[in-house]
Amino acid sequence: MLTHPQIWAALDRLAERYGLSASGLARKAGLDATSFNRSKRTSPDGRHRWPSTESISKVLTATGASLDEFMRLIQPMPEPPRATIPLVGLAQAGAGRLFTEDGMPTGGAGWEEVEFPDLSGEKVFAIEVSGDSMLPLYRDGDVLIVSPTASVRKGDRVVVRTNDGEVMAKEVKRRTAKSVELLSLNPEHEDRVLPLRDLAWMARVMWARQ
């Protein structure tokens, strides 16, 4: 059974995870800045006030967090051990020498490291966002944790690198045996249809640190 303190604590944890205050999380979701203030969580006569499902949906959309992620924050598990994973800037990710043929980091020059919870052997690396191509979902300086080995389905957000070195972050609209249709996260940037033969790799966004 979900309790009033659990739901509000989960929103507070989600805000903290993305480097936001409760009011900052509300603003990012397009809500009134005071929506998640502690004073709003109980009415003057002592009754509990609950965040609406619409508010939670807007928060998840604005942060890119999944419903599973939010549910885990309601009853958090012990913090997993932390590890370092390779980090590269989005602008540098087009350099072929940085990746193996299956999209994994080669390591060495050009790569830095970032601390992140150990993902139990999951093959991941981090990309630091630069520019405005991923607005409004991801901002300049945000760090995306991606996996080139994770399965990709419709609606997943992905980072794609083409054989000629172009790197982009999109949402998967449709995938066939010959091509993949990609929706732009920023409406000012065009959607793309890419033949699979032109893809060097496609990595699913597993996490975003904002």
Residue 52 pLDDT class (50, 70, 90 cuts): very high
List the beta strands (DSSP E) in the chain. Answer: 82-89, 112-117, 125-128, 143-147, 157-162, 167-175, 179-184, 192-195, 199-209
Confidence bin at 96 (pLDDT 50/70/90) = low
Tell me whether the omega of the peptide bond preceding residue 81 falls within 30 degrees of 0, making it cis: no
Q: What's the confidence (pLDDT) of residue 103? A: 82
Tell me the per-residue pLDDT of 201-210, one tens digit each, with 9 for 90 and over. 999 998 887 7
CA 193 to chain centre: 22
Q: What is the pLDDT of residues 113-134, one digit of tens each?
A: 888 766 656 788 999 988 887 7
- Residue 196 in tokens: 């699979």
- Sheet of 157-162: strand order equals 112-117, 82-89, 125-128, 143-147, 199-209, 157-162, 167-175, 179-184, 192-195
Q: Which residue has the higher pLDDT, 176 or 89?
A: 176
Structural domains in the chain, sorted by start? 4-74 (1.10.260), 82-209 (2.10.109.10)
Residue 81 is predicted with a pLDDT of 67
On the question of pLDDT at 67 being above 70, the answer is: yes
